[in-house]
Chains A and B, each alone.
Chain A
């Protein structure tokens, strides 16, 4: 089956640091990837849609300059949390799908980000 790999799985860093999270589709070409954020005991909230070779589409309320997304190839999307602060601490999860519509998204195992 489809496999999505996310790295790192856990990051602890100081306030003001920028953190890059990678999301790779391992056995299919992902024209579209998605980035989600989950707070404890809450649902997954879509942050942005990452399209290969074009700019990401951000959801309302998500700061583009804070959460930089790059989707330079069909197998890799990166999310960079710039100048992270404690309120950015969360569980970040990516997903990938082969097509835009009516195909299940397959998720990575997530990245636990803790900003001290």
Chain B
């Protein structure tokens, strides 16, 4: 039972353009959502998060959008840079457990 899904295994974007990474979830108890960036053989690095009481959170080039009715969130990176190339994981948790449930990841490649 995959509670958090990232249906696109990979995404390729030209430098300077927008990268949009998508994530869907099924558990309505989730109230906190996060995006992590990961390189091979390293731990994930926290990027940005959003609480279920909001529908948008912005931090520099990164913006996360949350659509609770559709149980969907997305990460927008603009402008994309070659250094953004990595695997991006979305994760969700509920405040009563604190446990993170991860999606399968999307490999982003930003071409110069």
A residues at B contact (CB < 8 Å): 4, 6, 32, 34, 42-46, 49, 91, 93, 95, 97, 99-102, 104-110, 112
| Least distance between B3 CB and chain A CB atoms (Å) | 11
Can you identify 27 A-B contacts, CB atoms within 8 angstroms?
A4-B43, A6-B43, A34-B99, A43-B89, A43-B103, A44-B44, A44-B100, A45-B102, A46-B99, A46-B101, A91-B41, A95-B100, A99-B98, A100-B97, A100-B98, A101-B32, A101-B96, A101-B98, A102-B31, A104-B34, A104-B46, A105-B100, A106-B46, A107-B43, A107-B45, A109-B42, A110-B42
Q: Which of chain A's residues have a CB closer than 8 A to the CB of B32?
A: 101-102
Q: Known contacts A101-B32, A102-B32, A104-B34; is A32 also within 8 Å of B46 by CB?
A: no
B100 touching A112, Cβ below 8 Å: no
A49 touching B99, Cβ below 8 Å: yes
Q: Kindly state the separation between the CA atoms of A93 and B42 in the bound complex, as whole angstroms.
A: 9
Q: Is there a chain A Cβ closer than 8 Å to B95's Cβ? A: yes
Q: Given contact pairs A102-B32, A106-B46, enumerate 9 new A-B contacts (beta carbons under 8 Å).
A: A95-B100, A100-B97, A100-B98, A101-B32, A105-B46, A107-B45, A107-B46, A110-B42, A112-B41
A100 touching B46, Cβ below 8 Å: no
Q: Which of chain A's residues have a CB closer than 8 A to the CB of B100?
A: 34, 44, 46, 95, 105
Total contacts A to B, CB within 8 angstroms? 60
Dominant secondary structure of chain A at its interface with chain B: strand
Dominant secondary structure of chain B at its interface with chain A: loop
- Size class of B's contact patch? 20 to 34
B95 touching A102, Cβ below 8 Å: yes
A43 touching B105, Cβ below 8 Å: yes
